[in-house]
Structure 1
Amino acid sequence: MRRKWDARTKARIVLEGLTKGGISELCRTHDLRPGQYYKWRGQFMENCHLIFEKQPGPPTESELAVENEKLKRLVGELTLELNNGKNIR
């Protein structure tokens, strides 16, 4: 039967392998195939840099104010275009 490994457990096992070595013993301890460990390690190494990238968070008040002003200008321009189109007819 296949087991489902959660992300935290996978990361902990990979980090243990990277720091302590002894992959064969590690895999025996966790009843894990070495090929599966190396697959997880590859995924880990491929994506570990993402933790240091800025995570998108809620916009700041100043960013919202700037966006609000842009939207107000756009609404005004569109209103003028709409009104000018009605006056031509």
Structure 2
Amino acid sequence: MKRKWDARTKARIVLQGLMGGCVNEICRCHELRPGLYYKWRNHFLENCHIVFEEQPRPPSQSDLAVENEKLKRLVGELTLELNNGGSHR
């Protein structure tokens, strides 16, 4: 039966090897094939820059309130335009 490894455990195991641990010993300790360790290591190294990328922040309540007011104003202006345009026909 295949074992499921969570992301934190994979990262911890890969870091043990990157910090100078003997890969064969690490794999033996965790009952892991060296090929799988190297696959994880490569994936880790290819994606580690993501940690330093800025994450988009969710809009705050005040941001949403400002946006809501802008939209209400726009709907009002468009409604007036439609009403005024319809009465001139």
Residue equivalent to 1:43: 43
Cα gap change, 1:83 to 1:52, in 2 (>3 Å)? same
Cross-structure match for 1:60 = 60
The alignment yields a C-alpha RMSD, in angstroms, of: 2.1
Length-normalised TM-score, structure 2: 0.78
After superposition, give the CA deviation of every residue in 1:7-38 in whole Å (9 maximum; x if it has no partner).
11001001111002311111111111111111
1:61 Cα shift? 4.9
Q: Could you tell me which amino acid in structure 2 is paired with residue 56 of structure 1?
A: P
1-structure distance, mates of 2:47, 2:60: 28
Partner of 2:87: 87
Structure 2 Cα separation of the partners of residues 71 and 27 of structure 1 = 58
Other-structure match for 1:31: 31
Structure 1: 4+ residue segments shifted above 4 A: none
Unaligned runs of 5+ in 2: none
Deviation at 1:62, TM superposition (A): 5.1
> Between Structure 1 and Structure 2, how many residues are aligned?
89
Instruction: Kindly provide the CA deviation profile for residues 36-88 of structure 1, in whole angstroms up to 9, marking residues without a partner as x.
Output: 11111111111111112222233235533542343234323432343244325
Deviates more, 1:27-36 or 1:52-61: 52-61
- Does the residue aligned with 1:20 lie in a helix, a strand or coil? coil
TM-score under structure 1 length normalisation: 0.78
Identity %: 73
